[in-house]
Structure formats: structure tokens, C-alpha cells
């Protein structure tokens, strides 16, 4: 089996995959435009990416059966197109949660104490102790966390550790009980959360319902001089509205993600947002601690190894949670050649689609039981004729799936 690692990953991951007998090609210099050719030339069965986008047009190249995103989201992958081609898409959720939450808290403290500006002035030979002694302090302040996933909840816990009063919002009230079970307040109205927070941090995936979530109404609700943080996805934020909030509403912001980011380990960028005096920024490093990279590498190896061993993969995001099968055909049979092909031929003739199949061998290896999930019930005549047409079928019956 051939694996293409198209983004930077700890070298130990490739070494461990090779130790499993897999053929691994590492090329972190690949871009989306060259990814398809690399897959075709390598004949890759598995693709591992981090930030490289995987559009529909590259999915037909190589012999792809699995794409692993070495990170939490899958917004860089055309999941719908992968599903149409029967390609697994897996990710590594939760492996970088602490790294992102630690950066978020670091940025929050940096906003309050104006650390980047103080350092820049000292490096320029300026001693401005009076100016930088005006921090508000964070203990007792109100922290609003937007998103109750792994990262959002990690930020909530760490903010509480600073003595802040934390309130959490999540879409449609989801995870309300889990949030309250940890002792945090839950606010179902996003604008109310914004209006009653001294600092607000975004921790959501990029979806059609979250894009532009932090817009004019959101920033208009923030109190004068509030802190705003985004270490999740750039497209959650209307950056024009953010710039107005910084210039008019005195909002101070810290972002790790923004429109116009560079690519790879080194690049040059020209982004007007970064010139705003009330903004500090980092170059998309939220998940980039050694601890997080080790955890992600471990998970990538686990996913690929599982696929190599069994043909199925853990942590897959594009497999139906509930099968559309309406019935299950139970076939108890002798362990002989041609039994199941006889059953499948009958289903084919009846235009009945087999959606899932499991065949269990009993001790001694002489008999089996097959469970075939199907999309409609066969006629009684088929249920009667199939076992009569093969003497190795001991019993056949139909069960309706509830």
C-alpha cells in the first residue's frame, strides 16, 4: 500500500508507517495544483494532508481509498466528492486542543498587558513603563467562549484558572448540559453573550452556518474596549466589521487566522488588517507545538495502520451514521465456495441492493452466518427459492431493521 504525505508531519510518522511495510512518499512542497499529478505518479492509496486543499478534481488520481487530515477539521477537503467516489475521509480531532487553547490564553494575556507593543518599544530603545502599566487585569472579568467543542471547553477551563467568569455559547443550545455540568454558564443568544463579555473567543468549525458569524451585529454588541480573539477559522469573521469595531468601538483583537495568510513554513504577505494598531496576530501557529504534532502523528499512524490492516479506517467523517438499509437477510450456511455469490445473484436479479455484509465463521471453520443489510424486502418466492437452489444454505430468513 502506498501513502503520500503531502504536508509537513513529524518524520517519525513516516518511519513507523514504513515499519508496517507501507511505501511512503513525503513531499511537503506539494501544492493543490500539483497534488493530482503526484497522486497519479505515485499510485497513492492513502493521502495525508494538513493545510493542502484536496478538491474534487484530484480524487480520481492515484488509487485513493483514504484521505487523512492531520488536524481537527476537514474544510480543506471536498468531502462530498470523496463520498461519491467511496473514499474515506478521516481527521484527528482533539489532538491539538491544548495547543490551540494555550495560544488563545497567551494572546488574551498579551492583549491585556500589551506585551507585543511593550517588547517592540524596548527593542526600539523606548522605556514606556507608565503607558504599559495601564492593564486592566483578567481575574474577575467576563469571558465569552463561542463554541463548546474540545478547544472551546479547554479555553473555558484555562480562563477559569485565571479567575475569569466564563459563559459559553453553542449552536442551537447543543452541549448545554455538558457545559453546565462543568460549572460554566450557558448563553443561548450569541449577541447576549457578546454584550455581556469583556473578552470573547471563537472556537468553531467553518460551516455554512458559521461563516461570517462574527459580523456587524456581533461586533456592535461588544462592550467598548472588549477583547476579541479568533484562533479557529478566518472565514468566521467579517474582517471589515472587525476593523470598524477596532477603530470606532475600541475593540482590541488577537488573531491566529486571517484572510491572506502565507503558505508553508516561510512566505511573504501583504495584509492590511495587520496594520491595525489595536490588533496583534500570529502566523497560524495554534496547533504547532511539539506536543500537538506528536499527538497528531500518532493518530495519523493509527488511522492509516487500521486501514492497511482491515480496509476500514477509524475517525472517518463521511460514513453514514445510520444505514439506510430497511431489512437484514440472515443466511446460515456451510463454509463452502459459491454460497454467498448464489445469494447475491438472486438479490441482483431482484434489483435489491446489498448495503452492508458481515460473514462470521463458527469454531471449527465448517459453518458460517452471514448478515446482509439490504435496501428493500425480497418477495416471499425469492426467500423460498434461494435456499432450495443451494444445498449448502442451512437456513435463510429476513429481519426488518427498526
In a domain, 279, yes or no: yes
What's the chain's average pLDDT?
94
Q: Are residues 386 and 251 in the same domain?
A: no
Does residue 147 lie in a domain region? yes
Give the model's pLDDT for residue 73: 79
Whether residues 212 and 341 fall in one domain:
no
CATH of the domain at 110: 3.40.50.720
* Residue 200 pLDDT greater than 80, yes or no: yes
CB-based contacts of 402: which residues, under 8 Å, 6+ apart? none
228 and 155, same structural domain? Answer: yes
Model confidence band, residue 72 (pLDDT cutoffs 50, 70, 90): confident
Residue 317, domain member (yes or no): no
377 and 236 housed in the same domain: no
CB 159 within 8 A of CB 166: yes
Report yes or no on 277 lying in a domain: yes
355 lies in the same domain as 383:
yes
Residue 263 pLDDT level (bands cut at 50, 70, 90): confident
pLDDT reported for residue 60: 86
Helix (H) or strand (E) holding 35: helix 32-42
Question: For residue 378, is pLDDT > 90?
Answer: yes
Query: Is the confidence at residue 288, as pLDDT, over 90?
Result: no
pLDDT at residue 309, rounded to an integer:
92
- In this prediction, residues 346-373 reach a mean pLDDT of 95
Rounded Cα distance between 151 and 171, Å, is: 15
Give the pLDDT mean for 4-17.
Answer: 95
pLDDT at 322: 65
Please give the pLDDT value at position 119. 98
Active site residues: 233, 261, 284
CA–CA separation, 156 and 164 (whole Å): 9
Domain span at residue 346 reads: 327-400
Q: What is the mean pLDDT of residues 391-395?
A: 96
Number of folded domains that form the chain: 3
- Mean pLDDT across 379-384: 94
Average pLDDT of the residues in 121-134: 96
With cell 472588549, the residue in question is 226
The pLDDT of residue 247 is above 70: yes
Same domain, 253 and 123: yes
Tell me: do 169 and 54 sit in the same domain: no
Largest CA distance in the chain: 95
Q: Are residue 30 and residue 142 in the same domain, yes or no? A: no
**How many helices (H) and strands (E) in the chain?**
13, 16
Amino acid at each position: 500500500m502506498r501513502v503520500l504525505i503531502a504536508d509537513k508531519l513529524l518524520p517519525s510518522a513516516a518511519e513507523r508507517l514504513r515499519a508496517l511495510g507501507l511505501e511512503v512518499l513525503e513531499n511537503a512542497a506539494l501544492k493543490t495544483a500539483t497534488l493530482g499529478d503526484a497522486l497519479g505518479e505515485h499510485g497513492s492509496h492513502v493521502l495525508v494532508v494538513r493545510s493542502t486543499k484536496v478538491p474534487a478534481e484530484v480524487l480520481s488520481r492515484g488509487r485513493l481509498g483514504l484521505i487523512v487530515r492531520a488536524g481537527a477539521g476537514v474544510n480543506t477537503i471536498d468531502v462530498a466528492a470523496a463520498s461519491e467516489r467511496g473514499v474515506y475521509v478521516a481527521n484527528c480531532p482533539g489532538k491539538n486542543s491544548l495547543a490551540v487553547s494555550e495560544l488563545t490564553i497567551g494572546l488574551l494575556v498579551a492583549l491585556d498587558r500589551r506585551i507585543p507593543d511593550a517588547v517592540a518599544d524596548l527593542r526600539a530603545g523606548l522605556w514606556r513603563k507608565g503607558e504599559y502599566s495601564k492593564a486592566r487585569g483578567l481575574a474577575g472579568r467576563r469571558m465569552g467562549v463561542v463554541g463548546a467543542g474540545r478547544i472551546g471547553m479547554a479555553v473555558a477551563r484555562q480562563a477559569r484558572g485565571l479567575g475569569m467568569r466564563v459563559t459559553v455559547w453553542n449552536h442551537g443550545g447543543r452541549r448545554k448540559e455538558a457545559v453546565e455540568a462543568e460549572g460554566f454558564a450557558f448563553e443561548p443568544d450569541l449577541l447576549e453573550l457578546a454584550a455581556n463579555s469583556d473578552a470573547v473567543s471563537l472556537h468553531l468549525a467553518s460551516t455554512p452556518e458559521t461563516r461570517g458569524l462574527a459580523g456587524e451585529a456581533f461586533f456592535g454588541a461588544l462592550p467598548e474596549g472588549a477583547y476579541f480573539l479568533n484562533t479557529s477559522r478566518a472565514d468566521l469573521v467579517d474582517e471589515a466589521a472587525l476593523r470598524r469595531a477596532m477603530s470606532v468601538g475600541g475593540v482590541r483583537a488577537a488573531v491566529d487566522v486571517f484572510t491572506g495568510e502565507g503558505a508553508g513554513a516561510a512566505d511573504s504577505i501583504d495584509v492590511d488588517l495587520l496594520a491595525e494598531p489595536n490588533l496583534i496576530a500570529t502566523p497560524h501557529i495554534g496547533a504547532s507545538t511539539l506536543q500537538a504534532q506528536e499527538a497528531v502523528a500518532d493518530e495519523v499512524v493509527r488511522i492509516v495502520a487500521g486501514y492497511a490492516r482491515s480496509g476500514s479506517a477509524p475517525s472517518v467523517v463521511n460514513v453514514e451514521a445510520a444505514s439506510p438499509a430497511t431489512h437484514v437477510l440472515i443466511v446460515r450456511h456451510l463454509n463452502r465456495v459459491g454460497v454467498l455469490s448464489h445469494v447475491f445473484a438472486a438479490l441482483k436479479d431482484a434489483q435489491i441492493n446489498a448495503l452492508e455484509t458481515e460473514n462470521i465463521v463458527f469454531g471449527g471453520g465448517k459453518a458460517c452466518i452471514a448478515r446482509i443489510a439490504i435496501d428493500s424486502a425480497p418477495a416471499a418466492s425469492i426467500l423460498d427459492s434461494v435456499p432450495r437452489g443451494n444445498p449448502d444454505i442451512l437456513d435463510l430468513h429476513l429481519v426488518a431493521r427498526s
